[in-house]
Structure 1
Amino acid sequence: MRSHRVTTVAGAILATGLLLAGSVPASAAAGPTTLPADQYTLSADYHKFDALNSALVSTLGTAAVHTVMDNANHSRRALPSSFSLAGLTGGFQFDDADNKDCKSYPQGITTSRDAVGTADGGNYDGHQLVLISWYTKGSCDGKQQRSRLTLVDWDATYPDKYRKILLVEPTGSTSAPDFKDVPIHAGGVSWYGDNLYVADTGGGMRVFDMRKILKTDPGGDAGQIGRQSPTVYYAHNYAYVLPQVGTISSKTTSGTNLAWSSISLDRASKSMVMTEYTCKSGCTDYPNRAPRAIRYPFAPSSTTFADSTTASQALQLPWYKLNGVASHNGRWWFNSSGDKQLYYWTPDGGSKTYPWVSSGESISYWEDGTNPDLLWSLQEGTGNRNVFAVGQAGYSG
């Protein structure tokens, strides 16, 4: 955050009594055990849709991130006075319609600090941003049908606005390029350089390029998606879509395949970490077994993975219903929505447990060159969708 944003937000929080002083209550907890890292590998294909994407760009044209934010059409709100968490430094809610929407649910979180680090105030294309991934169901009790992003300005230089972008997969042919919905849970998201990685529970990540946001016609019927004529493309009334560029596939040689429930970028070690949402017993839609957390290094001096990548760290975890993971400088954080706890662990220092929020989702580590580092997270519950940041030092043992 730029310094005047920190002062403004912190002052407002102090005025409403939300910033809690002192250390966060913690208790000792059981810790993870080590698994053989070489049993977990990734295969990367960043060019799967090159031909189709070139045709789509030629047909529709692209919009830079700053253009999208110049046309942001939703206003974020302040956190409610009822929201209280130790170490809180700031945050926001979506507008009333998005806060109460029973068909769409926020899941993953990443920021422009993930994308570019602390240089130039953590700005990507001139904006300091918080990015949230969502999934949308066909009805309030229906199945997942598509997924989207919300780009939120978190910068005192700009209005408190956000804009939605639909995630799509290229289809069709180079002479008649098209796209379709991406019907995934989007439980985790990480922005690194220009690449956006979105967790795909079925076995890895989908990759998107933030330089290739396409402009579409926001008209038509809300149910229409894709090519309507050689020059008209609809996208459920979205004005912008982000097409998939590649796929990161996951494989393990031991035990069951990984369930990619959440991911997070570790800029300190230039790696991606993931974890699984599992149950101890009794679940029908999720695995009933102990979850794992795996670390995969990026290629040297790159924001991409090599064609084949072997994990550098693998952990068996003693906690369940994990919706969030983060790591930085050898430290790990795990959010359990089932226990409403945040678990902190280091190999040398062991584990600590901290009280956390209900309906907690993903975590993103916010590096800051001048102010204390933060942990960003969010809640998915209808009517209670708080996106918030806390000082990470209060949750680090």
Structure 2
Amino acid sequence: MAATGMVPTDKAPYALRQETGDLAEGAAKLAGEIGATGVEALLASANRNLRSKGAAGALGSMKPKPSEWYAFDDRDQDTTDWYPQGLTCGEDSGSIGVPVFMVSWYFKPGAGERGIRVSFASPKSLKYQHALLVEAKPDGSYGPINIHAGGIAAYGDLLYVADTEKGLRVFDLGNLLDLRTAQNDLGDAKRIGRHGRKFHAFGYRYVVPQTDLWRVVQAGPHFSFVSIDRSGGTPQLITGEYREKSPGGWVGRWDLPFAGGEPSDAFVLGHPKIQGAVSRGGTWYLSQATDSTANGKLLVHAGDTLQTRPFPIGPEDLTVQGGKLWSVTEFKDKRVIFGVAL
């Protein structure tokens, strides 16, 4: 694929090693005290509304328009505190019993860090619910996670979250914790963790504690996005790096179930500003951004050919559900989950 901007490269620099530490212990302690629930139960209590074909400004000059898109509600359109980044779905997981999109958001203000959250969104009910991702501690408390969360991918009950500097953080979707099962209210909206006998999560009802970490072995590579490829005989986890200028960004694929080590293959990208990548057979799909006013592009690599397709403003991570390619857009008043033909 050298002629089209994807060059095979040495796999060793992208190797990952497992560093669980006391993460699983802390998460298990919390689950034992609060009680775990699942994605289906969370969606049944979803408290926010998606708007079918809302926030059309996100599409900019894109023609043709996406076949489907869903806008977040006004509170999540207007905020300059939270920005959507990663996207995965129930088909990636293979074990969630209902259609669902999952979207990661990072908290932007420099002071008063509130970490990262995931929206669980139903394309059937057009309802969604936020859950705060947290790092549990052995003493039974927990705190926010201050990373960009530029990409997420679900496989089974595990949610992989890209950590730019470290590699991949892992969360157990079978261990969603509903704070209302432990207390009558949602605690203080300005506090996080256990304080006395009460649990707080900045007012969020649901928290998901981190259970594992896969850390990059060599300094240098960054992990900006992540996705799942289920098109072959062996599912694969894909991750890669965003770079403002090219070359230097990369993508790599690991066989699933994930066991770390070197990827099965890796490529250096000849394109700048790649926000997401997914492969299907011999074809790669790359999401390329520009700025908050200009349309992005979808770059499709198939063998030695490169096709450029129109994309909305601010496209991010990629996933595949229902035979379509889906992404999410990040900018204020232009925040949608949208699907296009593969």
Which structure's CA Rg is the greater one?
1
Listed as ranges, the matches of 1:213-362 within 5 Å are: 213-216=176-179, 218-230=185-197, 232-252=198-218, 257-269=220-232, 270-280=235-245, 290-298=248-256, 302=257, 305-306=258-259, 308-338=260-290, 340-346=296-302, 348-362=303-317
Listed as ranges, the matches of 1:98-117 within 5 Å are: 98-116=76-94
1:138 aligns with 2:103: no
Give the Cα separation in 2 of the matches to 1:203 and 1:289.
21
Give the Cα separation in 1 of the matches to 2:21 and 2:170.
10
The total of aligned residue pairs comes to: 326
- Structure 1 residue 330: deviation in Å? 2.4
- Structure 1 residue 194: deviation in Å? 0.6
| Residue matched to 1:201 | 164
Contact between 1:115 and 1:194, CA under 8 Å: does it hold in 2?
yes
**1:186 aligned counterpart, secondary structure:** coil
> What is the CA deviation profile of residues 342-388 of structure 1, one whole-angstrom value per residue up to 9, with x for unaligned ones?
11113x3332222222211111122x4xxxx2100011010011210
Q: Which amino acid aligns with 1:273?
A: I
| Residue matched to 2:26 | 52
1:127 aligns with 2:85: no
Contact between 1:91 and 1:386, CA under 8 Å: does it hold in 2?
yes
Contact between 1:203 and 1:257, CA under 8 Å: does it hold in 2?
no
Give the Cα separation in 1 of the matches to 2:88 and 2:279.
13
TM-score by length of 2: 0.89
Q: Which amino acid aligns with 2:109?
A: G
Counterparts in 2 of 1:313 and 1:101: CA distance versus 1, 3 Å: same
Contact between 2:252 and 2:266, CA under 8 Å: does it hold in 1?
yes
Contact between 1:323 and 1:360, CA under 8 Å: does it hold in 2?
yes
Counterparts in 2 of 1:251 and 1:386: CA distance versus 1, 3 Å: same
Q: 2:15 aligns with which of 41, 45, 51?
A: 41
- Structure 1 residue 37: deviation in Å? 2.2
Counterparts in 2 of 1:225 and 1:39: CA distance versus 1, 3 Å: closer
State the percentage of identical aligned residues.
29
Give the Cα separation in 2 of the matches to 1:171 and 1:335.
36
**2:316 aligned counterpart, secondary structure:** strand
Give the Cα separation in 1 of the matches to 2:196 and 2:80.
33
- Structure 1 residue 48: deviation in Å? 4.2
> What is the CA deviation profile of residues 40-87 of structure 1, one whole-angstrom value per residue up to 9, with x for unaligned ones?
312134574222222111211112222211111101112135645436
| Residue matched to 2:48 | 74
Unaligned 5+ segments in structure 2 are: none
**2:312 aligned counterpart, secondary structure:** coil
Give the Cα separation in 1 of the matches to 2:283 and 2:70.
27
Contact between 1:45 and 1:246, CA under 8 Å: does it hold in 2?
yes
Q: Which amino acid aligns with 1:336?
A: Q
Give the Cα separation in 2 of the matches to 1:87 and 1:58.
47
1:181 aligns with 2:144: yes
**2:334 aligned counterpart, secondary structure:** coil
**2:248 aligned counterpart, secondary structure:** coil
Q: Which amino acid aligns with 1:343?
A: L
Give the Cα separation in 2 of the matches to 1:65 and 1:356.
30
**1:211 aligned counterpart, secondary structure:** helix
| Residue matched to 2:338 | 388
Contact between 1:297 and 1:309, CA under 8 Å: does it hold in 2?
no
Contact between 1:133 and 1:189, CA under 8 Å: does it hold in 2?
yes
TM-score by length of 1: 0.77
Give the Cα separation in 2 of the matches to 1:69 and 1:349.
43
Contact between 1:190 and 1:198, CA under 8 Å: does it hold in 2?
yes
